[in-house]
Structure 1
Amino acid sequence: MASEHHIPLNEKLLRRGRMPNGAFADVLSPLSEIPMLLTLDQLRPNPDNPRTSRNPKYDEIKASIHSRGLDSVPKVTKDPDNPQDIYIFSDGGNTRHAVLTELYAETGDDRFRCIQCIVKPWPGRLHCVIGHLAENDMRGELSFIEKAFGIEKARVIHEEQLGRAVSQRELAELLKNSGYPVHHSNISRMKSAIDLLYPWMPDLLNSGIGRPQVAQLLALRATAEKAWQSFSQAGAVPPERDFTAVFGEVCRGFNSPEDYTADLFEAALMAAIQQAMPGHVLTGDIRQAASEQQAENNQPETVVAAKKPVSTPAEKSLRNPRPAIADTPPAAPETTADIWHIPALQDDIEHLQNIAFRLSYTLAETTGTEHTISEDPLYESAGYSVLPAPGNELLAALCGSGNDCVISTLIGSPDPFSSVVCDDKTALNYLRLLRIIRRIRELQRQSYGEVSA
């Protein structure tokens, strides 16, 4: 005890505190977001992350982290039911974890092992899944089938919590209230893709084909099945033949993305159905009928950015280059509430800058000046920058690099020979962008205030 009194006070203050024994020794989930230095040993990828494919920008992200470190602080959380001192990523971050693990193994540099994180209160497994969906979808990094499985996982978790089945409209309402709106008809299409297509052609779906191609396949299947049922009722189909098996065999032949085209698939499906009906000749165009059905059932997808549909390598080479983050523009707001509401999952500077960039790119397309818009990830920016060009003055003004021209762009002039620069839909997009940038500036002011305090 005597030696204890001779230990300098500053050394005592730097000693690690005692941890309580028993159940209280476990690290508890914080009540609010707190910064914390964690090691790779304490971090794990979120097992419920809907993204399963390798990030196409993996090598680019790795080079960036190697040279500059992390540009943003990852957000993690801890499941209170897990007794170990393990944290999982709450909103994306799995790619960064893989890169840091790889860099530490290659270099042994401790800056890749110890990571400054923001620890969030445990939101529950359901909200973690939806958070990952929103984060990955906003960056355009989710394929249609990954999104479908993610939403299906959210449905399963929600049903387990409620102890009953959940309708597609209920699920759509849950996703909307959580900041990830998806139309219920699109949820139905995703469910059909999982049940009717994925068992037969997983490689094709995992390759990244988008909603239009999936909708076309489902429409072809529905039309062909309707024709099959008509022939079955007429006695033209042998009773031992099953449509699902016939359709599945055709799908297996087009499981590779290099082999699939809509024309060849339809021809093979027609031939397979014809072979199952000896003595009868099929006429008409199944795909034409399917296209008409698809047009009747067409509904909007999520309002968050999504990956642009991918089909064949030839189609990829024909695409016009444009920013990947803006491949699918955000849906135009329809009401004042749509303009002003900011979902909780997106209410931070990084997410809002991402939205502002996509909105500005979409607006610039209406005047043919999208080539002047660039993403600006700097913390103090509005999310984008603008090169001076006729037609983009308002976009430049909103991000702080131009002159005030609100009246001339949004309202027009009384001159009978002049016209309003933008239509009503474009005006609503400008108002939405105005709201987003107002919130970005508000968060930036709060952040600077906290630092100065």
Structure 2
Amino acid sequence: MADISEQEMAAKLMSDGFGRAGPVAGALTDPVSDTPMVVTLDELRPYELDPRLTRNPLYDEIKASIRERGLDAPPPITRRPGSAHYIIRNGGNTRLAILRELWTETRDERFFRIGCLFRPWPERGEIVALTGHLAENELHGSLSFIERALGVEKVRELYEQEDGKSLSQSELARRLKADGYPVPQPHISRMQEAIQYLLPAIPNVLYGGLGRHQVEQLTGLRRAGARIWEARAATKQVDVDFATLFQDVLAVFDGTPGNFNIQRVQDELIGQMADLLGVVYDTLALEIVDSEKRWQVLTSEPAAAPPATPAVATLPQTAPAQLSPPTPSTPPQRETPVAASESSLQTKPSPMQPPASDDQPDDESQRSALLQEHIISPAPTTDRLQSIQRLIADHTGEAHNDFESNVLQAIPVQVGGLYPISDVWHIDPGLDEPNRLRTHIAQFALEIASEAGVGDHIVPSDDGIGFSCATDIERMDSAGAMALPGATLTLLHVLSAPYLSASASPARIDTSQLAGDLAVLLLGMAQRATPSRGQSHVLTDNGLVKLFRLVRLSRRLLEIEAGTMDGDSAMPGS
């Protein structure tokens, strides 16, 4: 190789080498897999669609912990394609706000440079991020109901943008479950109603933490009121529609969340509806409550029946054929409607089921025999009715007073009648009110007297224990003993007479012989007596159970009116 001069060598060394033909990258691309990295607060931004709209109730506790310990776990972060900043991937917005406060207060580098776990932005990034924030917030400092509702509504919008079509509530529930944030369809329905009908009127109360149960009560009140308004306003000239009326009534109560009272809302709404529609307040209140309960039953699946139990057959009656008690020609009038049966809906949970003991029969035939022993005459019911009662009890979070389930508790027995008895002792909260107790007591007295042929001597009363007895009757049989009609009427008289008001004129009924014949009336004749005579002087099994129930309800009525609610009082359902 020929020698070259120094100038030529320098020129060759200074000549251009291989050049880059492609564009120059302004920054490195994000990792394509989960990667730990350190980022600064300047590079991090909170997630814009964070469902939490109010301050985390645990904010101060979390801040104190981070101040002392730092972050126990690196928050997951991600970044949208082309974005300049990272965002929190799921949860962590509260922690990010706390870190900014601590950095401002302390200038400690451990609050400024944070170790994080970067996760690539997925194909369905917005949906994954929002459902992730919803799930994370549920685990760490629960969201209020309205915040969850708004978050779910935003997810629905993202789903519809993704699919290009609207979603039903059932489909939305399925999609949310598939993305890791399961929400039942009934909850979604309540959420949408809360956003549409409640949020415009009571935002302060909702953001203050009004719970799901109270929201369900309000939405149920709105539905029932709307149905009644639509039915009644069709024949009236009303200047306002129900939607406006409901919003106006509700907005009045948008004050301090802790002072919100749904009963006051209901009273105000029913009062204004009654004025506008020209309807009695009590009538309208009953219709609204009744309408909502029917709606719950018709729009829900009945609860699954309990484990199959052989049908309980009615035992042959050992007592003589019994008279069907006549319906009173002039039943007592009450301002407050009376519950239709002793198995009305409960408003207070009954005691918990005791654990099964070793001596409790497990065999189905033994269980069937045990049930039959407690049935004197069957109460009219069906599997469908029992299923509906269980459904309503489950919906309200209360216990269902089931005869078969409670057969070893309290004093269970089943007797038919206008007010069928399934438990002598249990008193439904809906019955636990003086007027209703008097109505039931009077009916039981009438049915007991009717079996003895003296039903027309029972007079319903608005005072005392609910009834009084009319004038005396002939009650001696040929042997000189008190006959069943007279003994029965005398027994009912001595139970009711002491509690009648002073202004009431007492019936003139001779009670002198009751002491000697009470045992015969309740227990029957001894074996030496003829069967026909023994049976003619004793209460039937039906009548005896109704007498026990009458005594139980009368004791409760007197307790309520005397105000003796403590000690060993017979509390309802106890």
Considering the TM-score relative to the shorter chain, is it more than 0.5? yes
Q: Which residue of 2 aligns with 1:76?
A: 77
Residue 293 (structure 1) shift: 5.0
C-alpha separation in 2, matches of 1:229 and 1:220: 14
Aligned AA for 2:121?
Answer: W
Q: Which residue of 2 aligns with 1:255?
A: 254
Tell me whether 1:108 sits opposite 2:114 in the alignment: no
Deviations 1:364-384 (A, max 9, x none): xx9xxxxxxxxxxxxxxxxxx
Residue 140 (structure 1) shift: 4.5
Deviations 1:280-337 (A, max 9, x none): 43423366336625753579xxxxxxxxxxxxxxxxxxxxxxxxxxxxxxxxxxxxxx
Deviations 1:60-114 (A, max 9, x none): 11111111111111001101142x1x11111100010010000000111111000
> Is the CA contact 1:38–1:114 (under 8 Å) kept in the aligned structure 2?
yes
Q: What does residue range 34-433 of structure 1 map to in structure 2 within 5 Å?
A: 34-82=35-83, 84=84, 86-123=85-122, 124-233=125-234, 235-238=235-238, 240-256=239-255, 257-277=257-277, 279-282=278-281, 283=283, 284-285=285-286, 288-289=289-290, 292=293, 295-296=296-297
Residue 127 (structure 1) shift: 0.7
1:268–1:417 distance in 2 versus 1, CA, 3 Å: closer
Deviations 1:250-296 (A, max 9, x none): 1101112244212111111012212323x443423366336625753
C-alpha separation in 2, matches of 1:287 and 1:104: 57
> Is the CA contact 1:77–1:119 (under 8 Å) kept in the aligned structure 2?
yes
C-alpha separation in 1, matches of 2:31 and 2:149: 32
Residue 157 (structure 1) shift: 1.0
Q: How many residues align?
A: 285
Deviations 1:4-45 (A, max 9, x none): xxxxxxxxxxxxxxxx99684355343211000000001111
Identical-pair percentage: 40
Deviations 1:94-149 (A, max 9, x none): 01001000000011111100000000111311110000111111234211111110
C-alpha separation in 1, matches of 2:98 and 2:251: 35
Name the SS of the counterpart of 1:228 in structure 2. helix
> Is the CA contact 2:225–2:288 (under 8 Å) kept in the aligned structure 1?
no
> Is the CA contact 1:33–1:120 (under 8 Å) kept in the aligned structure 2?
yes
C-alpha separation in 2, matches of 1:195 and 1:261: 20
> Is the CA contact 1:29–1:122 (under 8 Å) kept in the aligned structure 2?
no
In structure 1, the gaps of 5 or more residues are: 1-19, 300-365, 367-414, 420-453
Aligned AA for 1:120?
Answer: R
Q: Which residue of 2 aligns with 1:392?
A: none
1:173–1:57 distance in 2 versus 1, CA, 3 Å: same
TM-score normalised by the chain length of structure 1: 0.58
> Is the CA contact 2:56–2:141 (under 8 Å) kept in the aligned structure 1?
no
Name the SS of the counterpart of 1:118 in structure 2. strand
C-alpha separation in 2, matches of 1:253 and 1:27: 57
> Is the CA contact 2:146–2:206 (under 8 Å) kept in the aligned structure 1?
yes
> Is the CA contact 2:228–2:287 (under 8 Å) kept in the aligned structure 1?
no
- Please provide the CA RMSD for this pair: 3.0
> Is the CA contact 1:216–1:290 (under 8 Å) kept in the aligned structure 2?
no
Name the SS of the counterpart of 2:42 in structure 1. helix
Deviations 1:369-426 (A, max 9, x none): xxxxxxxxxxxxxxxxxxxxxxxxxxxxxxxxxxxxxxxxxxxxxx97899xxxxxxx
Greater relative CO (CA pairs within 8 A, separation 6+)? 1
Structure ranking higher in helix proportion: 1
Aligned AA for 1:264?
Answer: R
Aligned AA for 1:223?
Answer: A
Aligned AA for 1:100?
Answer: L
C-alpha separation in 1, matches of 2:95 and 2:215: 30
1:138–1:258 distance in 2 versus 1, CA, 3 Å: closer
> Is the CA contact 1:237–1:276 (under 8 Å) kept in the aligned structure 2?
no
TM-score normalised by the chain length of structure 2: 0.46
1:79–1:418 distance in 2 versus 1, CA, 3 Å: farther
C-alpha separation in 2, matches of 1:220 and 1:286: 11
Larger radius of gyration: 2
C-alpha separation in 1, matches of 2:269 and 2:70: 52
Aligned AA for 1:190?
Answer: M
1:117–1:228 distance in 2 versus 1, CA, 3 Å: same
C-alpha separation in 2, matches of 1:37 and 1:92: 18
Name the SS of the counterpart of 1:37 in structure 2. strand
C-alpha separation in 2, matches of 1:292 and 1:162: 37
Q: Which residue of 1 aligns with 2:309?
A: none
1:92–1:293 distance in 2 versus 1, CA, 3 Å: farther
Aligned AA for 1:251?
Answer: L
> Is the CA contact 1:76–1:87 (under 8 Å) kept in the aligned structure 2?
yes
Name the SS of the counterpart of 1:145 in structure 2. helix
1:109–1:81 distance in 2 versus 1, CA, 3 Å: same
> Is the CA contact 2:35–2:117 (under 8 Å) kept in the aligned structure 1?
yes
1:247–1:75 distance in 2 versus 1, CA, 3 Å: same
Q: Which residue of 2 aligns with 1:353?
A: none
Residue 185 (structure 1) shift: 2.1
